[in-house]
Amino acid sequence: MKYKVYIYKAFERFWHWTQAILIFMLAATGFEIHGSFTFFGYQNAVKYHNVSAYAFIVLIVFAIFWHFSTGEWKQYMPTASNLKAQINYYIFGIFKNAPHPTKKTVLSKLNPLQKLVYLGLKILVIPVMVVSGLLYMFYRYPQKDAVESINIGSLEVVAIVHTIGALLLIAFIITHLYLITTGETVTSNLKAMITGYEELEDEKSSKEN
């Protein structure tokens, strides 16, 4: 039996959409700085990139607090169980109308592939972007009297790491936008992240997952 479940809480939705807007702004302004196109004008792009970056860091601090104070961080612990079935589903099953291999519940709302990819973003890609971005911002410091060993002589490595991270994030976003449409209906995942509610199977019939 299906019933409506409150699956994404208010802060979680606020965090998700604010993060989406900020990463979109950071990607757009970042690639203008990179020289890929002209839209805001270079100087504005730098200004907007910096403001979005600071806002992103503030959001990350609140999100870390939320994940630990609610225990929601546990949702992201990777598991090998069902991982292969989930990958097979996206490669083959989905095109044959096979059932979703992982049933969503409030206590376990991410499938094993999501757990793995989201954890990778949280502990690897986003920290790399923040650290390389901050080094990019402050590379001229410390100046004369400061500790020599943390002075960066060249920006080359920082720029390459930051750009690779940006490309990875864009690859993630493209995949994410496609996967959003592969829920129970084309719009059910999107609606859930907007309203917080989603129709799920009852916990008993999804216990085996």
Which position among 16, 18, 19, 46 is part of the footprint of ligand HEM (CB under 6 A)? 46
Which position among 33, 119, 121, 193 is part of the footprint of ligand HEM (CB under 6 A)? 33
Return the percent helix, strand and coil in the chain, to nearest 5: 65, 5, 30
Using CB under 6 A as the binding rule, the residues of this chain from 143 to 162 that contact ligand HEM are 159, 162
Q: Which is nearer to ligand HEM, 33 or 193 (CB)?
A: 33
Which position among 8, 15, 31, 76 is part of the footprint of ligand HEM (CB under 6 A)? 31
Q: Which is nearer to ligand HEM, 23 or 110 (CB)?
A: 23
Using CB under 6 A as the binding rule, the residues of this chain from 50 to 109 that contact ligand HEM are 53, 56-57
Q: Which residues contact 65 (CB under 8 A, 6 or more apart)?
A: none
Using CB under 6 A as the binding rule, the residues of this chain from 162 to 191 that contact ligand HEM are 162-163, 166, 169
Q: What is the helix (H) or strand (E) element at residue 36, kind and residue range? A: none
CB 116 within 8 Å of CB 102: no
CB 197 within 8 Å of CB 2: no
**Structure-derived torsion over alpha carbons of residues 58, 64, 67, 70, reported in degrees to the nearest 10:** -80
CB 198 within 8 Å of CB 188: yes
CB of 183 to ligand HEM, least distance (A): 25
Q: Which is nearer to ligand HEM, 82 or 163 (CB)?
A: 163
CA distance 114 to 179: 10
Q: Which residues bind ligand HEM (CB under 6 A)?
A: 23, 26-27, 30-31, 33-34, 46, 49, 53, 56-57, 129-130, 133-134, 136-137, 159, 162-163, 166, 169
